[in-house]
Structure 1
Amino acid sequence: MNVMETALSGMRAAQQGVQVAAHNMANVATPDAQRLQLQRAAAGQGGVEATVVAADPDPTAPLGDLLAAKAEVVAFAANAAVIRRQDQMLGSLLDRNA
């Protein structure tokens, strides 16, 4: 797996994390709504694999969900910066070899 694919897998996981946090926040007042949690694992070739699983009820969860959503936004931006930098480096290499 190359740098671009690794960063993309991180962006996909971060996107799923934001969706999970949004789901949990949207259903905070719903009595029987299932809380969700994102589990991450290292992918065999590099990068990350994310799986959405059911989570136990937690009365302090709304605050955790808000913080998790913010952390996922930061993780997404960091992976996007890696992709931007990879693109810049490739462009510089191509310019140099042209």
Structure 2
Amino acid sequence: MNNVMGTALSGMRAAQQGVQVAAHNVANLATPDAERLQLQRSAVEQGGVETAAATTGSDPGAPLGDLLAAKAEVVAFAANAAVIRRQDQMLGSLLDRQA
């Protein structure tokens, strides 16, 4: 797998985990002892991103922030999917020229 594809795939995985963290937080709003999670991202040396979910303190504006974060993650997922589609198209064009 080349670097562009790996970077985009790691971005898609990070976006998916971001949606899962936001969903966890929203689903547990009414649970008194539920831990609130926050997704932490870090860059990978070869390109891409790694994620880890960490607990965080309570925040009164959290529900709105979680919903907005989930929407942003959906947009990030779509952007990374577009990169993969474009990479696939470019590779197909290159192979067509070589044939």
Structure 2 length normalisation: TM-score? Answer: 0.97
Structure 2 match to 1:31: 32
By how many angstroms is 1:57 displaced?
Answer: 0.7
1:20 aligns with 2:21: yes
Unaligned runs of 5+ in 2: none
Percent identity, aligned pairs only, is 82
- CA RMSD, 1 decimal: 0.7
By how many angstroms is 1:44 displaced?
Answer: 1.2
- Distance (Å, rounded) in 2 between the aligned partners of 1:17 and 1:85: 24
Structure 2 match to 1:68: 69
* Structure 2 counterparts to residues 43-58 of structure 1, below 5 A: 43-58=44-59
Structure 2 match to 1:93: 94
By how many angstroms is 1:3 displaced?
Answer: 0.2
Structure 2 match to 1:83: 84
Unaligned runs of 5+ in 1: none
- Does the residue aligned with 1:32 lie in a helix, a strand or coil? coil
Structure 1 length normalisation: TM-score? Answer: 0.98
